[in-house]
Amino acid sequence: MNTNTTTFALPARVLHWLMAVLIVAMLFIGVGMVSSVSERHAWLLAIHKPLGIAILVLAVVRLAVRWRNPPPPLPADLPALQKLAAHASHWLLYALMLAMPLIGWAMLSAGGYPVMLGDSLRLPAIFPASPVAFAVLRHLHGWLAALLYLTFLAHMGAALYHGLIRRDGVLSSMDGRRAATAILPETVDAARETGDAEPGDPA
């Protein structure tokens, strides 16, 4: 169990940054796939499938790590609405990281396409062949991809807001640095009462 309340556990940090790279790559590959009809489409598709399965597996591992090592709490002075948005966006990201690969896998199964992770490794179908289901899942996969893109941008914007504007230690908790401690008025008053305040401390 992680007892560090200012930073995420090392496995959580490694998984976070690894999955961030994979998701960015997946989004760019997805855009390339839908905008290209050349021979690059087959090449991008061959990367897209194993990358999606890797994200699915890592998302499950990341949830297990999160359960084993709970994340540090958000700053106490963060407005309640921002805390709610932070928790909601995190769980939405987890849901999308799990749903997107599964829907893509089901879509290919419904279309009768093999899900190949290499030249010889083929995953079993998880959905019966159905042209109607294939069309529905294909549209759903695209809509969720757009939602993932927007959620990822919101997550990145929130991280920059915490790191560059609030400077409250939220961003540093994920890069391994010790979180900053805000100087609150009551803390300064208590320090002065005990004679621990340094000259120049804010009043």
Dump pLDDT digits (tens) for 81-99. Answer: 989 999 999 999 999 999 9
Per-residue pLDDT, averaged over 167-190, amounts to 59
95's tokens: 């849901």
| pLDDT at residue 55 in the model | 94
Q: Where are the beta strands (DSSP E) in the chain?
A: 115-116, 122-123
Dump pLDDT digits (tens) for 118-165. Answer: 777 889 999 999 999 999 999 999 999 999 999 999 998 988 888 888
Q: What is the mean pLDDT of the chain?
A: 82
Q: What is the DSSP letter of 161?
A: I
Domains along the chain?
10-194 (1.20.950.20)
Report the alpha-carbon distance of residue 113 to residue 122 in Å, rounded. 11
Confidence band, pLDDT 50/70/90 cuts, at residue 187: very low
Q: What angle do CA 103, 54, 108 make, to 5 degrees?
A: 30
Q: What is the DSSP letter of 36?
A: -
Dump pLDDT digits (tens) for 58-85. Answer: 999 999 999 998 888 888 888 899 899 9
Report the alpha-carbon distance of residue 80 to residue 170 in Å, rounded. 15
Report the alpha-carbon distance of residue 108 to residue 45 in Å, rounded. 12
